[in-house]
A and B are shown apart, each in its own frame.
Chain A
């Protein structure tokens, strides 16, 4: 391995830590941000649902303004942290771009909007990306490190801008404007309108007229904002595809998790998103003593036979797990056909929630 992850991040302004649930995305993002700050950069880490004590260590509370983490005066760089407020980021955006405050209020109160902004797959992911854009464009950080939310499917996060662009497809909006409009315009429009009405009838039958009315109101209010939303989604996509950005896939050595990580890396490739490397977190560490005989010899005359047997069994089990994990890392390289960066981080006994533990973890990156 030639360079460290911190060195690889040096040429970039956005690093996104993606990966399956629970592997250590939040922890890795924080550790990498700390290391980058200590290397002299002005860094912000966008965390999502960190463990409470990690949030305390970083001094973040849910909210949309970054707060500075005190690293002491010897450190040249700056570390800032912000915790994504899933419920308000999208609302804030709507308020910012709505043509009038009344439109914003109406939209935020719409049943469909409320249901959608909470439940719809994609919304949460998009919210995180939107926040990243905001941090880079408005707050001017040199490096934004992004933790990503646990998704239903591993690709949800990287698909979010596409998803929004698809949703905002003007054709949907055209149809629904027709549905609500009166009979005017040429023959072509009338034909379209007739089809739209048929579709409207279907929707009415399926969902009930109340839903169709709510939906119409939703579409009407959103329509004035689609241009701006589309523009933002497109710029975000551009930013994620540029050489400024890099994706780090975090995984554990577990075979199922690893398979997801390889899949994710291939999906990044398909979308022309730049891949920086893997972090294999929570790798088991061996005992350092290889055979039962070696154990017996080491503890001879030190402890009784019964304990010596148990120690040997424990040591060998630890070794076996460590070997499996090392093999998994090799398999990862092979399956992903990746010769670049793979960081291996050992599984610590204690959970990681202070700066000292993050710093220790960052040494493996």
Chain B
């Protein structure tokens, strides 16, 4: 028996969910977190966007910078947070420089504050540092604070630049006190036992192309493998071959029922178009794939149904 996608991902420590804009990254990240939390794991769902969505998706309160349980009744072991770049930067500097005064000067001086905003990759590094901290944190008994951390990452281009930051930074900040932490973070990202990158896509031309390119660039530029692909929004194939032929024929014939067959044909074309795209994707990308149905469920119902799907082998 093969393990379900949910089980494979729940075996990691850090799951990074990315893909093209609008394909369902936030939705799938929440579903992966829910699936693992249902199995009793202590899960942290991390959001980075300007507009937080986890509260809405899970029918809970909007998360804050600090991890909190946002929908206690339904998901008692699911924490969520929305990382604030400013606070993440302060924490990052405090952890790596260990001098409060210095950090105060560095973050409160007006010119320096400007510089942080403009300096390359500072935000990304601070965010990655926070993920690293969540991953390494232990309670007094030596048990990890979170069993699994699921991150709703930015879309393709920004995810690529973010994941490349530790290496880019190591080239620029050779010999500084931040270099050691950058190395630790880079090691975590490259440890396939700890970290999984999950690409979400739709069975459409541009999302498929972007998924293939993303996987390729992750591998080539950053030596990161992304072996988990969620194909979201797959329309169910309801008609069998004979029925399809009947519909095709009647859609061409003049009758009062014609518009009905034309509508059904539209739906059929969509399914076959999607099947072609999925075929292309699987041909071009070596990965473990999982299909997620295009449903009309919304809110927590949608998340639950995707979590169910991920739990099925």
Contact = CB atoms under 8 A, between A and B. Distances in A.
Interface in B245-304: 246-247, 250, 255-257, 259-261, 263-264, 266-267, 269-270, 273, 296, 298
Interface of A: 20-23, 51-52, 111-112, 115-116, 118-121, 124, 150, 152-153, 155, 166-167, 169, 171-172, 175, 198-199, 202-211, 214, 252, 254-257, 259-260, 263, 285-289, 295, 298-299, 302-303, 307, 310-311, 313-315, 317-318, 320-321, 324, 349-351
Secondary structure type dominating chain B contacts: helix
A299 B257 contact: yes
Nearest to B23: A22
Contacts of B298: 255
A244 to B, nearest CB: 29
Nearest to B49: A153
Interface residues of B, number: 70
A285 B120 CA distance: 45
Given A208-B176, A214-B172, A350-B273, A318 B296 contact: no
Nearest to B168: A115
Interface of B: 20-23, 26, 49-51, 53, 93, 97, 102, 105-106, 109-112, 114-115, 117-118, 120-121, 123-124, 154-158, 161, 164-165, 168, 171-179, 204-207, 209, 238-239, 243, 246-247, 250, 255-257, 259-261, 263-264, 266-267, 269-270, 273, 296, 298
Given A302-B250, A303-B250, A349-B270, A310 B243 contact: yes
A169 B112 CA distance: 12
Given A115-B168, A321-B296, A351-B205, A206 B259 contact: no
Contacts of B49: 153
A159 to B, nearest CB: 11
Nearest to B112: A199
B120 A20 contact: no
B267 A318 contact: yes
A22 B109 contact: no
A6 B100 CA distance: 59
A22 B111 contact: no
Contact of A119 (B111, B161, B207): B161
Given A51-B206, A206-B106, A207-B178, A311 B269 contact: no
A351 B247 CA distance: 22
A295 B258 CA distance: 11
Contacts of A171: 110-111, 114
A206 B93 contact: yes
Given A21-B22, A22-B23, A22-B207, A289 B172 contact: no
Contact of A320 (B155, B171, B269, B296): B296
B296 A211 contact: no
A208 B257 contact: no
Contacts of A153: 49-51
A147 to B, nearest CB: 13
A348 to B, nearest CB: 9
Nearest to B204: A351
Contacts of B273: 349-350
Contacts of B114: 166-167, 169, 171-172
Q: Which 7 A-B pairs have the closest CB atoms?
A: A21-B21, A208-B176, A287-B263, A298-B257, A22-B22, A115-B120, A119-B161
A119 B112 contact: no
Contacts of A118: 161
B97 A120 contact: no
15 contacts: A52-B209, A118-B161, A152-B158, A172-B111, A202-B106, A202-B112, A206-B93, A206-B176, A207-B173, A208-B173, A252-B22, A257-B22, A286-B263, A314-B264, A351-B204
Given A206-B97, A206-B106, A349 B168 contact: no
Contacts of B53: 256
A347 to B, nearest CB: 9
A171 B109 CA distance: 12
A299 B260 contact: yes
Contacts of A203: 112, 115
Contact of B174 (A204, A208, A315): A208
Contact of A22 (B21, B250, B259, B296): B21
Contacts of A286: 263
B20 A22 contact: yes
Given A115-B121, A118-B161, A207-B172, 17 more contacts: A21-B21, A21-B155, A22-B23, A115-B168, A121-B123, A150-B156, A166-B117, A202-B106, A205-B102, A210-B173, A211-B176, A299-B260, A307-B246, A315-B263, A317-B296, A321-B296, A351-B205
B120 A311 contact: no
A303 B249 CA distance: 12
Nearest to A306: B243
Contacts of B260: 287-289, 295, 298-299, 311, 315
